[in-house]
């Protein structure tokens, strides 16, 4: 469905001479990504509204996307699986923030250390459709570690001031780490 809509948009723009025929596939793919990302964000925001956790979902999306962009991780083979995987992450995050003891400094520290170790060791996890040269690989590793340290710092500040959104940041770090481990294991089994 997403591919069909993207193809229709690209065809329409080609017929209007806005894009060239030889770039039709590139634009179609770009529209597919835009539509899929829009659906993911929309579904996450709806889940956030239904659960009365819109702020938590927004924080989770921002941190997950920022970190995941440079660290890499699980890549689904269809847009439906990708959107379902992200929605599941959002649902799990909501469940966890409602059930985890938010004053547990050891859990907080353990999650941050697991995230740091995972990202330090595994990042970046390359996408087969977007290979990285050595320069980009080093750059992405530095960015992912920098983003992780920034998120972890904010998380500790929120923890000190007893602002429970630190838990959302921790879960986003942990979720990206799990995504990276899944993709690494999946690549080794192929």
| pLDDT, tens digit (0-9, with 9 covering 90-100), for 132-181 | 889 999 999 999 999 999 999 999 999 999 888 999 999 999 999 999 99
d(CA 100, CA 102): 6
- CB of 97 within 8 A of CB of 167? yes
Output the pLDDT for position 190: 63
Task: Tell me if 157 is assigned to some domain.
Answer: yes
Q: Can you tell me which residue has the tokens 């835009």?
A: 34
Backbone torsion region of residue 17, taken as left when φ is above 0, otherwise alpha when ψ lies between -120 and 50, otherwise beta: left
What are 2's two structure tokens? 């997403």
What are 128's two structure tokens? 């087969």
| pLDDT, tens digit (0-9, with 9 covering 90-100), for 29-68 | 999 999 999 999 999 999 999 999 999 999 999 999 999 9
Question: Can you tell me the mean pLDDT for 70-97?
Answer: 92
Residue-range definition of the domain harbouring residue 105: 54-77+101-189
Task: Tell me if 17 is assigned to some domain.
Answer: no
Domain count of the fold of the chain: 1
d(CA 96, CA 107): 12
Task: Tell me if 40 is assigned to some domain.
Answer: no
Does position 112 have pLDDT exceeding 90, yes or no? no
């Amino acid at each position: 469905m997403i591919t069909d809509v993207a193809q229709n948009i690209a065809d329409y723009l080609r017929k209007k001479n806005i894009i060239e025929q030889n770039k039709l596939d590139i634009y179609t793919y770009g529209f597919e990504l835009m539509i899929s990302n829009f659906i993911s964000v929309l579904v996450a925001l709806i889940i956030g509204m239904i659960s009365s956790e819109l702020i938590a979902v927004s924080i989770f999306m921002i941190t997950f996307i920022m970190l995941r962009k440079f660290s890499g991780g699980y890549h689904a083979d269809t847009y439906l699986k990708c959107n379902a995987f992200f929605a599941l992450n959002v649902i799990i995050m909501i469940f966890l923030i409602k059930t985890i003891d938010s004053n547990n400094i050891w859990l907080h520290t353990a999650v941050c250390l697991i995230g740091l170790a995972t990202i330090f060791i595994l990042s970046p996890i390359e996408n087969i459709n977007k290979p990285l040269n050595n320069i980009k690989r080093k750059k992405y590793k530095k960015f992912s570690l920098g983003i992780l340290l920034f998120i972890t710092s904010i998380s500790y500040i929120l923890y000190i001031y007893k602002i429970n959104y630190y838990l959302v940041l921790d879960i986003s770090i942990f979720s990206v780490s799990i995504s990276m481990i899944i993709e690494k294991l999946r690549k080794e089994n192929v």
